[in-house]
Structure 1
Amino acid sequence: MPFGRWARALLVVLAGTATVLALTGVPVLAAPVTITNATQFTDTSGAVVHAHGGGVLKVGAYYYWFGENRNADNTFRYVSAYRSTDLKTWEFRNHVLTRSSAAELASANIERPKVMYNAGTRQFVMWMHKETATDYAQARAAVAVSSTVDGAYTYRGSFRPLGTHMSRDITTFVDDDGTGYMVSSANENRDLNVYRLTGDYTGVAALVRSWPGDVREAPALFKRNGVYFMLTSGATGWNPNQQKYSSATSITGPWSAWADAGDATAYGSQTAYVLPVAGTSGTAYLYLGDRWGNSLGGTVNDSRYVWAPLRFPSATTLAMDYFPSLVIDTAAGTVSGPPGSWITVVARHSGKCVDVVGGSAADLAEAIQYTCGTGLNQQWNRRDLGNGYVQLAARHSGKCLDVADASTADNARVVQYTCGTGTHQQWQVQDAGGGYFRLVARHSGRCLDVISGGTADGVRLIQYACGTGTNQQWHSRVA
């Protein structure tokens, strides 16, 4: 057969195969997608996706997203389920738990539903936080089961773990050996407890680890290359705060001290879940957070979704990067900002790059100039604040370029520091001509400067009264 006819025939076969796949409901391989961050998502019918405080379970080629769908007064209405192959195109499947599922759900609060699959019983098991509709005095865990991932779940009731422990914000985790765990905040949110579940995942067998008195909630537990990570928030009601994480090589510990993840408010969100996205290029880990509508003057159903890729500077540490949009490729297992998200900032007079000394991830580590290379401590994410100013966040640490102590004086040190809302971390990009720009600190009106116009590696960066010197002029390029 001539090549042209052969090629046309192959296309017909492939097209027919795609049609069969579509007709039989078997998903074709997902293409890369771009999502807009910190928005309400909509499903394939155009309705708002209500999966707040939720979790995601992958079954076959589909990611199933379960979450809170509330009444206007914030009380329980449904646990709703959606599915997607690409994490952008969400198809509503079912209200898998409703007020009519059990008498005690007719007037209730149900929060943070998480679904796990038990390979031994072939049951899907949902854990959730249960309260009455009027207050948070019950502090119970609740369980429901189903033989299908998006079918009606049978409610098994609510209880306090081991009979005595309060249980509020909740998550679940299945280890490599099939052991199931449930994690919840206890003791009026002062403690965070890890429980080993019974073999069928519907009961609590033992308390295996606790963080007493640390006041952490909104737990997300995941495992990467043999290391366990626990990502949590502080307890500040509906308002966002600094998320912190701990890591360990055994689920029972010892665990590392809590360390900061992301900026001071997790980019205006609270942890809901960490989703591994596995594909041909590896596994990305995606932070799923809620920007609660209650913190914006609305209700839970007004909430926005904040997603952020996690990065691992070492085997036992993590960092969280934020981008206004994300490129997700579930087939490859990659999640990133759009092309050009990372830049290097280069001094005109020396040709050297803005760098964090020694690649330190610590607050107050000095900003210097250094010969440009491939180090993540020379790569910056320019975050447009929408008010004429930007923040520059270091890729290796997630911390922002900052004028130390918010000083307004000449020669004040420039450092990296946990990102916040201070104007000493906000910079105006001012045209300097010739393709160069100045970076002007909002709080002081002074310019980012290489001290004394030095051209050597390691020379410190400072702020100084703006002038015409080329040591205050910069250009950027894609890292």
Structure 2
Amino acid sequence: MRSSRRLLSLATALAVAAGTIVGPPAHAAAVTITNGTQFTDTSGNAVHAHGGGVLKVGAYYYWFGENRHPNNTFRAVSVYRSTDLRNWEFRNDVLTQSSAAELQSANIERPKVIYNAGTGRYVMWMHKENGTNYSEARAAVASSATVDGTYTYHGSFRPLGHMSRDITLYNDGGTAYMISAADENYDLHIYRLSSDYLTVAGLVGNFWNDAHREAPALFKRGSTYFMLTSGATGWSPNQARYATASSISGPWTGWTNVGDSTTFRSQPAFVLPIQGTTTTSYLYMGDRWAGASGGPVNDSQYVWLPITFPSSTSMSLSWAPSITVDTATGTVTANSPTYHRVTNRNSGRVMDVVSNSTADNAEVKQYGWNGGGNQRWEFQDAGGGYFRLVNQNSGKCLDVASGSTADGANIIQYTCGTGTNQQWQWAAIGGYHQLRARHSGKCLDVVNAGTGDGADIQQYTCGSGANQQWSRTAV
């Protein structure tokens, strides 16, 4: 018995040294995660893990990703940990500008980390550029003895002489692979890594010559490998496509569309298997890049959706405004949106997108309730106590035109983005609520307290008028 205890203590000590046991066991409950938002950590700060990946170590999921300066150059690779995938604790900036001379002015993108059981080290691969343009197209490598410790930078290079941009890693039972967008993003290469995972041992293949794909995410379900990618359209979102194979070395199928034409305005970053007591679910993790509307990377939002599988060799992705995740059981559930009619206290009429328009800049006015989708609004959590109001008919957001802060600024619908002129506080006042624009602090207001159909809606300095007071009813 004493020998057994000694062996158990030794095994535990070795596991701690290897980083495979981190902290006390944690029991996660089911949580709800809202899509199209900026996540915040347990200290209330924005989570900057853009283009990132997740590694589970012990009871914790570790999320690594890009943390950039306002000019989009490299600040750090930051890491957060969580047991439930919603409550993220900031752990460390594991790689920073001071980690190496060539990182002083650089772009570091899409960091991914895997564990090497043979060396006992965590190995990170990234896409590295010079911070000025995208002429370097290099892969970079760093490693650490602990998952969230300081990573030693080992340098950057072009794998086997090939350009290397968006990357991902995959550990296939101890044999590791790096997948890289190569040759100006026209090719997609699969490389086998060396036994220490620090360099490339060989090219497995270029299976999609001239496909012009990037943002690869590789995962395996059953006996099928899935390669999920996006098109190469800069910050602008596009149609995700996937290919499948029964072996990483191929043969691989051609590309199949998944999701909608913009992948719900996101780009793949990673696919996370969530293995629990009941099932294993596969979570699509995407970035809704702020760069698509001219914002800095650190204003980007996250889109996480459950992947479903119509067959063993096909996948499907559908939109959900929020998901419920239970890491204990392994279940991920898409939640259906709830729509509301938003009624003005003064007139009894509702907020309406004129003529059922689905176009940007369409006018928002008040009309009598008719049940149409152009009068139904989803309140999406935008963080910080604010909401985006998304129209059911168009999928566009309630917006203060041109981001104006002036009294009388027009209210329209516009493609949803990260602007605070699309974020509204639902503030209680005398049994009703005001809708206060985050960027201006002004209130949603029916012009001249009109009570008729077609009365215009504007923003105006908040007061006590009933024409600034609203109620919402689920429909």
TM-score tier after normalising by the smaller chain length: 0.5 to 0.7
TM-score, normalization by structure 1: 0.66
1:300 maps to what in 2? 297
2:49 maps to what in 1? 51
RMSD after superposition = 1.8
Give the letter aligned to residue 52 of structure 2: G
Change (3 A) 1:388 1:318: closer
How far apart in 2 are the matches of 1:77 and 1:135? 16
Give the letter aligned to residue 146 of structure 2: T
Match of 2:52, SS state, is strand
Give the letter aligned to residue 146 of structure 1: S
CA deviation after TM superposition for structure 1 residue 257, in Å: 1.2
* Conservation of the 8 A alpha-carbon contact between 2:80 and 2:88: yes
CA deviation after TM superposition for structure 1 residue 25, in Å: 4.2
Alignment identity in percent? 65
Alignment of 1:277-426 (within 5 A): 277-338=274-335, 386-389=390-393
1:359 maps to what in 2? none
1:467 maps to what in 2? none
1:205 maps to what in 2? 201
CA deviation map 1:399-425 (0-9, x unaligned): xxxxxxxxxxxxxxxxxxxxxx9xxxx
Alignment of 1:87-106 (within 5 A): 87-106=85-104
Range with greater deviation from structure 2 (292-301 or 51-60): 292-301
CA deviation after TM superposition for structure 1 residue 388, in Å: 4.6
How far apart in 2 are the matches of 1:189 and 1:383? 39
* Conservation of the 8 A alpha-carbon contact between 2:271 and 2:283: yes
TM-score, normalization by structure 2: 0.67
* Conservation of the 8 A alpha-carbon contact between 1:55 and 1:65: yes
1:146 maps to what in 2? 144
Alignment of 1:172-191 (within 5 A): 172-176=169-173, 178-191=174-187
CA deviation after TM superposition for structure 1 residue 29, in Å: 1.1
1:120 maps to what in 2? 118
2:385 maps to what in 1? none
CA deviation after TM superposition for structure 1 residue 37, in Å: 0.6
How far apart in 2 are the matches of 1:387 and 1:202? 49
Range with greater deviation from structure 2 (85-94 or 331-340): 331-340
Match of 2:265, SS state, is coil
Alignment of 1:217-296 (within 5 A): 217-296=214-293
2:62 to 58, 61, 64: 64
CA deviation after TM superposition for structure 1 residue 91, in Å: 0.1
Match of 2:72, SS state, is coil
CA deviation map 1:413-465 (0-9, x unaligned): xxxxxxxx9xxxxxxxxxxxxxxxxxxxxxxxxxxxxxxxxxxxxxxxxxxxx
* Conservation of the 8 A alpha-carbon contact between 1:128 and 1:142: yes
How far apart in 2 are the matches of 1:147 and 1:190? 36
CA deviation after TM superposition for structure 1 residue 390, in Å: 6.8
1:194 to 181, 186, 190: 190
2:408 maps to what in 1? none
Give the letter aligned to residue 41 of structure 1: F
- Report the number of matched residues: 327
Match of 1:301, SS state, is helix
CA deviation after TM superposition for structure 1 residue 50, in Å: 0.2
Give the letter aligned to residue 279 of structure 1: G
CA deviation after TM superposition for structure 1 residue 277, in Å: 0.5
How far apart in 2 are the matches of 1:298 and 1:54? 19
CA deviation after TM superposition for structure 1 residue 337, in Å: 1.4
How far apart in 2 are the matches of 1:143 and 1:226? 30
Range with greater deviation from structure 2 (79-88 or 250-259): 250-259
How far apart in 2 are the matches of 1:227 and 1:193? 19
2:33 maps to what in 1? 35
Unaligned runs of 5+ in 1: 1-23, 342-381, 392-420, 422-479
CA deviation after TM superposition for structure 1 residue 302, in Å: 0.5
CA deviation after TM superposition for structure 1 residue 296, in Å: 2.2
* Conservation of the 8 A alpha-carbon contact between 1:191 and 1:215: yes
CA deviation after TM superposition for structure 1 residue 132, in Å: 0.2
* Conservation of the 8 A alpha-carbon contact between 1:27 and 1:85: no
Match of 1:155, SS state, is strand
Q: Which runs of 4+ in 1 moved over 2 A?
A: 338-341, 382-388
Change (3 A) 1:165 1:331: same
CA deviation map 1:112-141 (0-9, x unaligned): 000000011110000000000100000000
Change (3 A) 1:279 1:101: same
* Conservation of the 8 A alpha-carbon contact between 1:328 and 1:334: yes
1:110 maps to what in 2? 108
Match of 1:337, SS state, is strand
* Conservation of the 8 A alpha-carbon contact between 2:320 and 2:337: no
* Conservation of the 8 A alpha-carbon contact between 2:290 and 2:297: yes
Give the letter aligned to residue 201 of structure 2: A
CA deviation after TM superposition for structure 1 residue 28, in Å: 2.4
* Conservation of the 8 A alpha-carbon contact between 2:322 and 2:336: no
CA deviation map 1:137-192 (0-9, x unaligned): 00000000000000000000000001x1000000000003x100000101000000
* Conservation of the 8 A alpha-carbon contact between 1:309 and 1:322: no
* Conservation of the 8 A alpha-carbon contact between 1:326 and 1:335: yes
Change (3 A) 1:252 1:390: same
Match of 1:294, SS state, is helix
How far apart in 1 are the matches of 2:377 and 2:270? 24
CA deviation after TM superposition for structure 1 residue 338, in Å: 2.7
1:131 to 123, 129, 132: 129
2:381 maps to what in 1? none
Match of 2:291, SS state, is helix
* Conservation of the 8 A alpha-carbon contact between 1:383 and 1:390: no
